[in-house]
Structures are given as C-alpha cells and as structure tokens.
Amino acid sequence: MRKTIFLFALLAGTLSLQAQNYPLRARLSDPNSFSVIVIPDPQSYTKFAANQPLFELQTAWIAREIDSLRILTALCTGDLVEQNETAIPLAFRKTDQTSAEQWRAASRAFERLDNKLPYVVCTGNHDYGYTKSENRLSRFPDYFPMTRNECWRHKIVSVCNNAHGIPTLENAAYEFHTDTWGDLLVVSLEFAPRDEAIEWARKLVAEPRYANTRVILLTHSFIAWKGNRKKTEPYELTDANYQQAIWDKLVYPSSNIRLVICGHDGLLRDGRLPHGQERRRQIGRADDVQRPDGRRTVARQRRRLLAAHPGIPARRTDRIGADLLADVRPFARHLRQGVAHGRLRPIHLRHGITDRLKRTSVAQQLILGLWQKRLY
C-alpha cells in the first residue's frame, strides 16, 4: 500500500513538473537582432472586470520574453481606459468598471514590466476629460509618474509640460542604443498634441546630437484605417493638432523621423476570401435596419406598437417613433460600420421622454431584436 501511494505521488509530481513547462518559447531568428513590442489600445481589457486579467497576461508574457527576444522596449498606443473620470459603472453602457478601477487595472498590468523594461505609454482620447476628451484633465500622471519605473532613469532625455504646465510623461522622449540600428529616439506625444508639444518635439529631433538618430514617433491618432490623415476629429479640445497637422508640422519637416506608431483607428477584417481580397467583417449591417438611418425599422416598430396598444393615439406614437429614431441612428451606424471585438455596442437610451415606460419598452424590444439577429 505504501509503495502504491509513493508511486502515485511520484507520478503526480512528474506530471506537475511537465505541466509547468512552457510549450512554446519565442526565439529570434537572428540572435543579434532585437524586438520592440507594440501594445495596441488596451481599453477593452481594462473597462470590463472579466477582461482585465487578459491584459496582465500580455504584459506578463512580455516580461517573460525580455531576454529571449531581446526586447528593447514596449510601446503602448494609448486609450488605457474607456473613461478617464467617472464614478458610475455602466455609464453610457460601455463598461462595468469605474474610472478608478480601470486606471488601477492598467497600472497593475504594467507593474509586470516596472523595473524590468523601459516601456513607453502615450495617452489616447479616452484618457482625457470625462468620457472622451472634453478637456485636458487626465489621471495618467497620477498612475504613471516619472519615478514609477527605475528603467526610465537613464532612458528619458526630455519631457514637455502638459496642458497644466506640469512636466509629465504625456510628452516625453526616450533614448535607446542598439547594435544593429544604432541610436534610437522614441518620442511620445499626447493625444491631439498642442502646439507647444509639437514645437517641443520638432526642436528636440532637430538637435545636432540626433542628426544621425532614427526617431520613432508614438502618438495615439495619426492615420485612419483607410490610410488617409484626418484634418479634424469630433472632440472639444482647443489648441489641438490632429492627424494631418501632426504630419505637416512635425513628421514631414523632420527627416530623421523614420516610423510613426499609432492606435485609435481600426477595422475588423476577415482575410479568408478568394484572390487575397479582404472585406469588412459584417458583424452587423445596415441591411438589418433596412436603411442606414433606421427609419424603416422605426416605422415597423411603430406599426407593432399601434397593433399591440390600440388605445394609444397615433400622434403619440409619432413622438415615440421620432425619439426612437434618434436612438436608432447611432445604433444603425454601428451596424453599418461593423463594430470591433465581435460585439455591437448597445446604445444609450435617453430618458425623460413622453410616455417613458412604453417608449423604453419599445426601444428595448427593437434593440433586442437587432442584437438577436446579428450578434449570435
């Protein structure tokens, strides 16, 4: 009996050791080369409690592979959170976490890299204001101060004041040296950088000491998914330079800027099509609502409402239909564009409308019908 127990324990220990072996370790094809990791906008990880461990898995993997992949740095394209400053989870039906919980999740994920890797993080539009850049207020400096990561001590060579006159990592430059590419300078710019930040970056990369240095610009928004650069974006910021202005004022005049890394814009694609063609993955389409603005769907719901509630005057359903249409339009736009991450964003129902209960009920039926038709 004792031998059997001992043998079982030995086998269990062997299996446990085997289970702890990594099935696959990344390796460089050229051991003299190096790696730079790009971390796209992590807001979809931090805004839901269930997704937050996935972000930590990513940074944990980066930390594990620092030596095997000779990782020089990791560049994060911003939008660390969905909403910079809100204490109400589920506000606008986009998250189940408060802003503080989202910021803590982002900070916790990067703790895996602190004092191990001089990673670089820029700010996105969701990292400012209340919901998305109504102003330049941001929690970013609170969670990512310059003293946070010891690896930055000998990498940061310059910083620029933020909109409140405080030098922070919202605009910062990091210097690296490689055996293959020589000297590198990574310049991180705030979202929709102010003229002051643009001028700081332009003067910095034009300094004689960086004449032979390859410069990488990291900023949240620089190019749209179609390859064009936008002249403006729908935010309330003042003194803001958007994609085309960043090109005109900084990238084009600076011959040593060799690469721009950005996030912000994207398109979910399905590459499994003949002839190498790609098309937009139609998670939801405008066809589901008959017209892009959703008018036919609203009219159909109005007829159903009248049939189900014959006592409601037709004029009241006109008001309900008009209000429904205002809510359906952005939803239909999401359907038409195809929303990323395999899910559609539920729209925010406005309240305080005449016949609120009946209207909300109809709106919920409408939205539920659209979700059931395309989501699953």
Helix residue ranges per DSSP H, the chain = 2-19, 43-46, 52-64, 99-111, 140-143, 195-205, 243-246, 295-308, 314-337, 356-374
Residue 189: which H helix or E strand, with range?
Answer: strand 182-189
| CA distance linking residue 68 with residue 47, whole number of Å | 31
User: According to the model, what pLDDT value does residue 251 have?
Assistant: 96
Yes or no: say if 280 and 271 are a contact pair by the CB < 8 Å rule: no
Name the token pair of 54: 């996935």
- The letter for the amino acid at 327 is D
Average pLDDT of adjacent 10-residue blocks, the chain of 376 residues: 35 44 75 93 93 94 94 96 83 78 97 98 95 90 97 96 96 96 96 97 97 96 89 91 96 96 75 39 32 46 56 49 49 44 36 36 44 36
| CA distance linking residue 310 with residue 360, whole number of Å | 18
Residue 136: strand, helix, or coil: coil
Q: Which of 309, 303, 297 is nearest to 371 (CA)?
A: 297
User: According to the model, what pLDDT value does residue 73 have?
Assistant: 97
- The packing angle between helices 99-111 and 52-64, to 10°, is 20
User: According to the model, what pLDDT value does residue 5 have?
Assistant: 33
User: According to the model, what pLDDT value does residue 311 have?
Assistant: 53
Q: How many CA atoms lie within 13 A of 93 on its CB side?
A: 9
Give the chain's domains with CATH numbers: 29-266 (3.60.21), 282-374 (no CATH)
Length of the chain in terms of residues written: 376
pTM, rounded to two decimals: 0.68
Q: Which of 151, 224, 213, 219 is nearest to 182 (CA)?
A: 213
Name the token pair of 155: 């990498």
- The letter for the amino acid at 282 is Q
Specify the pairing of strand 120-121 against strand 257-261.
Answer: unpaired
Annotate 332-360 with DSSP letters as a single string. HHHHHH--GGG-PPPPPPP-S-TTHHHHH
